[in-house]
Amino acid sequence: MTRDIILIGMNARYSHTNPAVRYLKTYAKREEVKIREYTINNDMEKVFSDLLSLDALCYAFSVYIWNVEYVYPLASRLKEATGATILMGGPEPSNDVDRALMHSDCVIRGEGEEAFRCFCEVLLDGRDIRTCPSVSYLENGKRVDNEPTMFVDLDSLTQPYYDLDSLKGRLVYYESSRGCPFSCAYCLSSSDKTLRYSSVEKVKRDLRTFMDAHVLKVKFVDRTFNMDRKRAAEILEFINTQHTDTEFHFEIAADLIDQRFIDAVNASRKGQMFLEIGVQSTYLPTLKAVHRVQDFEYTKEVVRKLLLGRKANVHLDLIAGLPLETYERFRRSFDDTMATYAPVVQLGFLKVLKGSPMEDMTEQYGIRHSDTAPYEVLSTDAITADELDDLRDKEYLLERIYNSRLYYFFVHAAAKAKDSYYRVFEDIAMLIREKGLDREHMSEQELAELLYGYALELREPAVRDGFLLDWYMRPKRAYLSRSIEKSEDWKKDFYNHLPELLSRRIPKGKRPWHYSRVEHFMTDVPKLLKDLSWDERECLMYFDYTETDTKIYELEKSGEGYIIKEEVEL
């Protein structure tokens, strides 16, 4: 009986999927090729036992920075316990072949489809796998690298998710192009300048397949989705014609966004599109050092247009520890990026990836990094280890307070009062220490009371308004402690004169204040929600939680009662 070749995808979490092993299986067209998927959170003993029980002819691992420290020990154990061939592929083995060969019999370097197809044919026929293209192996202790295969035509690749029935509600990774023309020193894609595309018609067919299967999200892994502006806009416009709940995630370059792209995004269903834009730094000498092309003024302009369109989720990325950027200068990059009002600002840390140009720049810029994946920066000539640790401390608060979408308006209002976003997070970190709180085990109420106290200390009405607006805009009436939300006579009077249109919305027999909130603001809330500007104007706002999505109305006093002035569009 022929034994199988097992392709192993080791994902970061269960909701993720591994497109590489699926592409390889589909392209190989051999029934002996099977897939096993796990996560790095699985118990290694159980994974080892499961793989061992398969009695495979070959175990082939797809290896990345997030799973390499899990995969290599596992592969070594399989190599010792079985007579099976151990094969490695993916970015980590391709760019650190010598280390990969310490845990395997051979490595496929670079693009894998054609090389793996040949590998399967040769292995299953009992021939010498060392004859296959793109394969590296050891011969008499010396490494041998076979010539690479030619690139495959992307239109010849069948959409790899043959198991769509099992992927409902999960995230699917999808590539519509390979390669990148940019030369960013910290990115592996800078080594592959051969940019190739699948045809738009193929992309449309594949996306329609995912939509029909009701996958939760399709995440494009194209390094710069909008490199071809016309093509990118056409794909977005196609998505807009489809009736689907599937969401789509794209990594894009702000410099390449044009009006057609913006119009396509702003014509989409709200929340359907996630746009990830790499800022990395706003310090020009740093950007030049890492060969990063960016016009931050234009980035601010297009981000503003996207936010005012109110349809897309916009996510900006920063990288701490890049060459030449000091702690003080990075704080300015942080403030610059936060000031765009993007709802998510990801603070990451430089990773000196194997095979990236950054590897050759470590001595020049005094970059010290961890020896194990993900090879994260420890210090540079420009920034100390203690300063990077301080940034990591602020990263946690950024995730919990801002990127969680819990305190969006509060953070922006506090930053206006302090003239710096970073100072706001410094102040909050200091308050947590002074009060002896465990930041990672703080309850939501403890955090709310801490931030509300901070808002009052700043003595700026807009900060208090921002805090309450964040809470009141949640999709259902969230509980606030009595120290924050006090019972006031004017609110009792309001509910005694609740406008008929609003009272009809309250479920029969229920108390209206259980399904709503009313609040005086010193900030022009309708204008803030419309164009993100902080103007002073006293207004009375009503928040209605009787439906899935919160509705907001501005009210005004009329005689002894109240009337609806306008419903505020969200």
Neighbours of 256 (CB within 10 A): 17
**Separation between Cα atoms, residue 379 and residue 385, nearest integer Å:** 5
- Whole-number CA gyration radius for the chain: 27
Residue 177 has pLDDT above 70, yes or no: yes
Choose one of 350, 377, 397: the last residue of a domain: 397
Last residue of a domain, one of 485, 512, 546: 485
pLDDT of residue 329: 98
**Residue 474 within any structural domain of the chain:** yes
C-beta atoms surrounding 444 within 10 Å: 11
Domain ranges, residue 513: 487-568
Q: Strand, coil or helix: what is 554?
A: strand
Q: Are strands 177-178 and 196-197 parallel, antiparallel or unpaired?
A: antiparallel
Residues 55, 45, single domain; the answer is: yes
Examine the domain organization and report whether 107 and 250 are in the same domain. Answer: no
Q: Which residue has the tokens 């000031």?
A: 339
pLDDT confidence of residue 191: 64
Confidence category of residue 190, pLDDT binned at 50, 70, 90: low
Residue 150 domain flag: no
pLDDT beyond 80 at 189? no
Whole-angstrom distance, CA of residue 413 vs CA of residue 399:
18
- What pLDDT, on a 0 to 100 scale, did the predictor assign at position 60? 98
The band of 95, judged by pLDDT with boundaries at 50, 70 and 90, is very high
- Mean pLDDT over residues 295-299, rounded? 95
Residues 455 and 525 reside in one and the same domain: no
CA 233 to chain centre: 21
Check: pTM over 0.85? Answer yes or no.
yes
175/291 same-domain check: yes
pLDDT number for residue 401 = 97
Per residue in 120-140, pLDDT (tens digit) is 999 999 999 999 999 999 999
Mean pLDDT of 280-292: 96
Rounded percentage of the chain residues whose pLDDT exceeds 90: 84
Residues 164 and 141 in one domain: no
pLDDT one-digit tens code per residue, 491-524: 988 998 888 889 999 998 899 999 999 999 999 9
What residues contact residue 148 under an 8 Å CB cut-off, 6+ apart? Answer: 109, 110, 111, 115, 133, 134
Do residues 480 and 549 make contact, with C-beta atoms less than 8 angstroms apart? Answer: no
Band (pLDDT 50/70/90 cuts) for residue 192 is low
Confidence at residue 12, expressed as pLDDT on a 0 to 100 scale: 86
**pLDDT score at 343:** 97
Give the residue with greater pLDDT, 195 vs 365.
365
Average pLDDT over residues 318-342: 98
Q: Considering 485, 509, 543, which residue would you say is the last residue of a domain?
A: 485
Is residue 424 domain-shared with residue 498, that is, in the same domain?
A: no
* Number of structural domains found in the chain: 4
Co-location of 25 and 36 in the same domain: yes
CATH number of the domain where residue 79 is located: 3.40.50.280
- Are residue 315 and residue 202 in the same domain, yes or no? yes
Number of neighbours of residue 117 by Cβ within 10 angstroms: 19
The pLDDT of residue 109 is 96
Q: What is the pLDDT of residues 216-245, one digit of tens each?
A: 999 999 999 999 999 999 999 999 999 999
pLDDT of residue 178: 92
* Segment 357-406, tens digit of pLDDT: 999 999 999 999 999 999 999 999 999 999 999 999 999 999 999 999 99
CB 345 within 8 A of CB 394: no
Output the pLDDT for position 2: 61
**194/334 same-domain check:** yes
Residues 450 and 498 in one domain: no
327 and 448 assigned to the same domain: no
Query: In whole numbers, what is the pLDDT of the chain averaged over residues?
Result: 94
Same domain, residue pair 414 and 343: no
Average pLDDT over every residue of 554-569: 90
pLDDT in tens, 25-37: 999 999 999 999 9
**Amino acid 13: pLDDT:** 82
CATH, residue 319: 3.20.20.70
CB contact at 8 A, 371 and 359: no
- pLDDT bracket for residue 1 (50, 70, 90): very low
Neighbours of 324 (CB within 10 A): 19
Let me know if residue 152 belongs to a domain: no
